[in-house]
Amino acid sequence: MVRTPLTGGNWKMYKNPARTTSFFETFRPLVEHSGNCEIVICPSFLNLAAAVAATRGTSIQIGAQNLHWAKEGAFTGEVSGAMINAAGCSHVIVGHSERREYFGETNQSVLNKTVAALEAGLIPIVCVGERERKNAEAVLTEQFRCSLGALEEGQFRRIVIAYEPVWAIGTGDTATPENAANAHRFIRSLTNGRFGAAAAANVRILYGGSVKPENAKGLKAQPEIDGFLVGGASLDPVSFASIVNA
């Protein structure tokens, strides 16, 4: 069994359409030969059209950073999975810690959004991770039980998990490759307990939290780590390409 690595860029609330287009002008040739790694860039909603246009005909995929769990309805300011799909996206980030912290997302809303993403034909990149440098296993167990573990097996098979310890996000304080691998192994053991050995062997688990060109190689050397979800370092085409190619 071989898990195809995936490197995702989470652009958060940065860039405009013109900067999105110019990012890809530089980025495209730098990853032309990055054959065995999927690349998914997640700009803000308003930059999706520019990103989709700039990557047409390449293997670079585009995702959104959030979605609403309803198919449509009176939800002012929200965006549905079907709209994201129609915009040309293949992926969507669900349950990022900034959404949990600032926008009240819970394990229940993460579950609802994950199901909605799948129903809209999108691949959800579901984020989990402990807030402080302690009790990681207790937090991961609870997050798994209430969201990922509540999926049906067929649904679980289509998701990507991103392990992002909150203390490592945007802080420059990345997890050591060994610590990250331990957390990934733990998530895989939870998967095994709930969905069995094949699901545990197949699910891709990305690491996120201050991934930079300097630390990407060491993290990638861990067989448990199937790629990255990169914030700050994904905004610059040269540094993101060097993470993809690490």
Write out the catalytic residue numbers.
96, 164
Q: How far is CA 243 from CA 17, 23, 26, 39, in A?
A: 23, 15, 15, 11
Nearer to ligand PGA, 8 or 200 (CB): 8
Distances (CA, A) of 97 to 61, 107, 167: 23, 11, 10
- Total residues contacting ligand PGA by CB under 6 A comes to 13
Q: Which stretch binds ligand PGA (CB under 6 A): 50-58, 80-88, 143-151, 208-216?
A: 208-216
| Site membership for ligand PGA, residue 62 (CB under 6 A) | no
- CA–CA separation, 63 and 54 (whole Å): 13
How many C-beta atoms lie closer than 10 Å to residue 55's C-beta? 18
Residue nearest to ligand PGA (CB): 231
Rounded Cα distance, 139 and 186, in Å: 11
Using the rule CB under 6 A, which residue among 38, 105, 130, 164 binds ligand PGA? 164
In angstroms, the CA 123 to CA 180 distance is 23
- Among 111, 181, 203, 211, interactor with ligand PGA by CB under 6 A: 211
> Binding of ligand PGA at residue 209 (CB under 6 A)?
yes
Smallest gap from residue 215 Cβ to ligand PGA (A): 11
Name the residue nearer to ligand PGA (CB basis): 9 or 150.
9
**Per rule CB under 6 A, is residue 29 in the interface with ligand PGA?**
no
Rounded to whole angstroms, the Cα distance separating 120 from 89 reads 11
How many residues are recorded in the chain?
246
User: Is residue 210 near ligand PGA by the rule CB under 6 A?
Assistant: yes
The answer to whether residue 50 forms part of the interface with ligand PGA (CB under 6 A) is no
Closest distance of CB 169 from ligand PGA, Å: 4
Which residue do the tokens 């195809």 mark? Answer: 4
**Contact indicator for 124, 106 with CB cutoff of 8 Å:** no
- Answer for the pair 106, 147: CB distance below 8 angstroms, yes or no: no
Binding of residue 116 to ligand PGA (CB under 6 A): no
- Asked if 208 interacts with ligand PGA (CB under 6 A), we say yes
Nearer to ligand PGA, 225 or 230 (CB): 230
The nearest distance, CB 162 to ligand PGA, in angstroms, is: 7
Site for ligand PGA in 217-246 (CB under 6 A): 229-233
CB 127 within 8 A of CB 92: no
169 class by beta-carbon count within 10 Å (0-12 exposed, 13-18 middle, 19+ buried): buried
Which of 110-118, 131-139, 193-201, 206-214 is the region at the interface with ligand PGA (rule: CB under 6 A)?
206-214
Closest CA to 24 of 207, 231, 234: 234
Please give the residue ranges that form the binding site for ligand PGA (CB under 6 A). 10, 164, 169-170, 208-211, 229-233
